[in-house]
Amino acid sequence: MPNSRKRDYYEVLSVERAASDDEIKKAYRRLAVQFHPDRNPGDKSAEERFKEINEAYQVLSDPEKRAQFDRYGHAAFEAGRGGGFSGFDFSQGFEEVFADIFGDFFGTGRSRSRSRSRRGDDLRYDLEVTFEEAAHGAEKQVSFQRLAQCEACAGTGARGGASGIRTCPNCRGTGQVRMQQGFFSISTPCGQCRGEGTVIQDPCPKCQGQGRIRRQQSISVKIPPGVDNGSRLKVRGEGEAGHGGAPAGDLYVVLHVREHPLFARQDNDVVIEVPISFPQAALGAEIEVPTLDGKMRLRIPAGTQSGKVLRLKGKGIPDLHGYGRGDQLVKVVVETPRRLTARQRELLEEFARTTGEDANHPLAKGFVDKLKEMFG
């Protein structure tokens, strides 16, 4: 005879009959946390509710059992009903579902593997370089502190090396012990070996059983040509030493390029502003300009305007990936003299009287023409 006192499993989990598997699982987790016996010590009603929730989930999370329940209700699982299903195993699949819920509650999540062998942490070093060093490349010595492997115990933490390490007698090397929680059990890290699976009987006196000691390290770092501000260089194996013979971490050198008094960078091009006089701009000239490769001669065409950019091909920054080299962009700025001699003033006044507005000042003429269009 059907058990009419049992609640509908969908009602138990507070989900619709058309709920997805994910919705059922989320509802189960939420209710299981709320009514877990460890959070309701001594509360018999919470314990019964917890059992009811687990029973409902075991049916609704199984497609075959859920189909039977949808068709026959609780009668589907009574003795003699087709399919032969009888009774419930409340612990079935429990650890898989609850590992991420009770991780903090029991001090662990899913089963941990032994952690004695663990890669070392990475380190960061900030290095300032000059504009020229970033462009041409360089080799720099850097000095920093790191945790290095203890030579006395070869990084094992035990006096005499690996022979001083024993299998943990409490967990027998698994790093895990099982805790019984009512009708189910959960694996937790072994308290004696802290999940390592091994114990050190006689700690190394030099590193106090840590297997690593802090020391000053000095290495040479090669800076490739073309690096920029913020570039990171990876030096393998120069980070913190690993645990239990595991590899060391890496050192990341972060570059900070010092500002240059003359040069600026624009992608792989070098930009520089060079002042020239009015006669040089008007008549043309050949001037000397600095580059990353030394001084070079640059021809200024006659009639050059202030702000004109002239290009020196291949005199910029080498591409970091080897794709050629940028250019040097020379922006000329025509400088107006602030103090004139009497003779200079006389010559300029004569020049002003004799110059033709249309032919020699096309920019000014164009500006005047636009003003006339706007204001008449």
For residue 104, pLDDT beyond 60? no
For residue 135, pLDDT beyond 60? yes
Lowest mean pLDDT among 82-86, 327-331, 353-357: 82-86
Domain total of the chain? 3
Range of the domain at 350: 264-375
For the chain, give the percent of residues with pLDDT over 70: 81
Average pLDDT for residues 371-375, to the nearest whole number? 69
> Are both 234 and 313 inside the same structural domain?
no
Q: Among 202, 227, 257, give the residue marking a domain's end.
A: 257
- Over residues 74-84, the pLDDT tens digits come to 887 765 444 44
**According to the model, what pLDDT value does residue 269 have?**
96
Lowest mean pLDDT among 155-159, 256-260, 337-341: 155-159
Q: Report the CATH number that the domain containing residue 317 is assigned in CATH.
A: 2.60.260.20
Element (H, E) at 357: helix 357-360
The most confident of the ranges 79-83, 113-117, 238-242 is 238-242
- Over residues 269-299, the pLDDT tens digits come to 999 999 999 999 999 999 999 999 999 999 9
> Are both 127 and 169 inside the same structural domain?
yes
Q: Between 63-72 and 44-60, two packed helices, what is the crossing angle to 10 degrees?
A: 100
Q: Report the CATH number that the domain containing residue 198 is assigned in CATH.
A: 2.10.230.10
173 within some domain? yes
165 within some domain? yes
Mean pLDDT across the chain, nearest whole number?
83
In angstroms and rounded to an integer, the radius of gyration of the C-alpha atoms of the chain is 40
**Alpha-carbon distance 169 to 67, whole Å?**
48
> Are both 227 and 290 inside the same structural domain?
no
**Alpha-carbon distance 89 to 105, whole Å?**
24
- Over residues 176-200, the pLDDT tens digits come to 887 766 656 677 788 888 778 888 8
**Alpha-carbon distance 13 to 32, whole Å?**
10
Give the pair of three-digit tokens for residue 308. Answer: 């004109």
> Are both 175 and 282 inside the same structural domain?
no
